[in-house]
Structure 1
């Protein structure tokens, strides 16, 4: 399979900031992050950054698992 041209779902972590903007980060691509005024702008920017990383083969893993842990604050 041609990884450059294949459609892939890549996890992106979005964090709203106090000023209303958003930080976005792709943990599969070291250093791939951005800050944008809106959620949509952050996602569009990340789509371009991750697409470029795929073309340059900078993605660390082709398989991944997302796990949610229940953690007590006490």
Structure 2
């Protein structure tokens, strides 16, 4: 069974990597169309990161606690 928190954290890292690429585009000189596209994508990516952060927090609150005997079996 996959760990949803680890999967979410992996997805978050991918989103952060994408955000950084977009920022490097925005830090360059203005190019009509390209700059506007990068800005829109940056906003979407940031919203996705915030949604993933909320999902991680929710998973941490709702994840069943493992007992010490369960941890030993894994």
TM-score, structure 1 as length reference:
0.31
Structure holding more helix per residue:
2
Structure holding more strand per residue:
1
